Structure formats: C-alpha cells, structure tokens
Amino acid sequence: VFEGIRLGDVTGNWTAPLGRHNEDYFVDNPMVAVGPDEIIKLPIYLPNNVEIEGIDLTIQYDPEVFSLIGYSNRNSILEESTYPTILNEETSGLFKLVSYANSTPIYDNGLLGYIKFKVVSQTTAHSTISMVEMEVNEIPEGGFLIVDGIDSGNISRGFDFQIIAVPDVFALNQNYPNPFNPSTNIQFDLPNEGEVIIQIYDLKGNLIEDLINGNKKAGYHQLKWDGSNQASGMYFIRMIADNGNYIK
C-alpha cells in the first residue's frame, strides 16, 4: 500500500490535491496577424487558486519564424527570491521553464510572467506558438491568457500567427484575369499605412466607379471588381497613394 505524507503533515489527514484543470476556461487558438520584426509578448496565466510549489512549462515554436527573446517575470505573482527560475533553450524551437519554491509557497492565482518572441520571418507565413506542457505541482494547469478580442479573459494552449510581410514600394499590379468576364482581381501593395483611392475609368477618361477611398494598412491587398453592369471594352485602374498616381 502506497501512502503519501506531506512534509510537515503532523496529523496525517492531508490528501493530495485533485486536478483543477477547468476546461471552461479554454478556447481554441486565436488567430493573430503580425508583421516582420514585431515583438510578441505572451502572458502565462494561472486561473485557479492553488498553493504553488512548482511550475513546469514547455513551449514549442518555429525558429525560422520566431526568435525567442526570453522570459520576463514583470508583474508576476511569483517573487523572484522565492521562485528561482531555470530556463532551458538547448533544443531549437523548444523552450523549457522550471520554477520551484525555495521557501513557503504562496496560495494564489494570476499572471506568472511573459514569454517574449520576435518575428524574424520576412515573408508571409502561418505559424503556431503552442504550449506543449504546463503543470503546477505536476498537475496540468493554466495556459496563455488571451487579452484581446472576443475571447479576452480566456485561456488557450497556443496562438496561430499570420505573418504579413510589408512590401518595399507602392505598386498597382496587373489585374487578373485579363481579359475578364465579368470580374477581375486587383492587387496593390502599400509599404505604409495611409489614404488610398482606387478607381475605374473608361477609355474616354470618364470615372466609372470608386472602389476604395479611405485609410488602408500597410501590406499586400486584393479586391475584386465586378464589371457585369458595364459595356464590353477596355478600362483603366487608377490608384492614388502617398501623393503618387499608378495606372494599369
């Protein structure tokens, strides 16, 4: 018969805590759009009150997309003097954190710190940062805290990132298909956020339609023009951005 006795348990009536892993907190990985060289700060969160004797954490990421900056315990409920932290980054793309109380453990919930990354990919890509393991006192517990969007306040086991590369120059690209019937795709590149106007003209120089007239973020963009209500013929696309005129 195996019997576990906790150090300092004089009466012998202490029982091991049951798992507190509450699935109600957890949601699917949120999708987040980021750009090259952007800094990502992921909060590690413990939703339930528990006596924190030790924490084991493993995070997986793609080193060709993200560069690990490290761990920060700023605003953490864990005092650095009580919870010394050991970091292991020996395996590329795998980050391990271990922290155990060296004195009386606290009973609390809340922020355990942040893991920081930098986006190093300079091309459009999709990549996930996932929490392979998070255990408190060898029991699965906690995860990434979502701080924005519809799932704000919930916990996830990862984030799906869409890396959106930013072009070097303004450009209005050739529409496709061309010729077209009845619609065509128009692609344009914006290295900076700003006001953009995209219009359709006929051969006589008459304005046929305003497709865009407003602020657009930097990046690669695409829209569709449906010309089914127009007569057959040749049309021009005009883009005005950053005080420049671009025509196709």
* pTM flag (> 0.85): no
Relative to beta strand 235-241, strand 244-247 is antiparallel
* Residues 206 and 238 reside in one and the same domain: yes
* pLDDT tens profile 193-229: 899 999 999 999 999 999 999 998 888 888 888 888 8
| Residues 62 and 127: beta-carbon distance below 8 Å | yes
Q: What is the CATH number of the domain that holds 239?
A: 2.60.40.4070
* Residues 179 and 60 reside in one and the same domain: no
What is the structure's pLDDT at 109?
A: 93
Q: What is the CATH number of the domain that holds 154?
A: 2.60.40.680
What is the structure's pLDDT at 57?
A: 95
* Residues 36 and 115 reside in one and the same domain: yes
What is the structure's pLDDT at 18?
A: 39
Identify the domain containing residue 45 by its residue range: 23-163
* Residues 153 and 229 reside in one and the same domain: no
* Residues 107 and 221 reside in one and the same domain: no
Instruction: Retrieve residue 79's tokens.
Output: 């005092």
Give me the DSSP letters along 143-189: EEEP-SSTTTT-EESEEEEEE----SS-EEPPPBSSS-SSEEEEEEE
Whether 3 is covered by a domain: the verdict is no
* pLDDT tens profile 95-106: 999 999 999 999
* pLDDT tens profile 33-80: 888 888 999 999 999 999 999 999 999 999 999 999 999 998 999 999
- Of residues 166, 179, 167, the one with CA closest to residue 234: 179
* pLDDT tens profile 220-248: 888 888 888 888 889 999 999 988 889 98
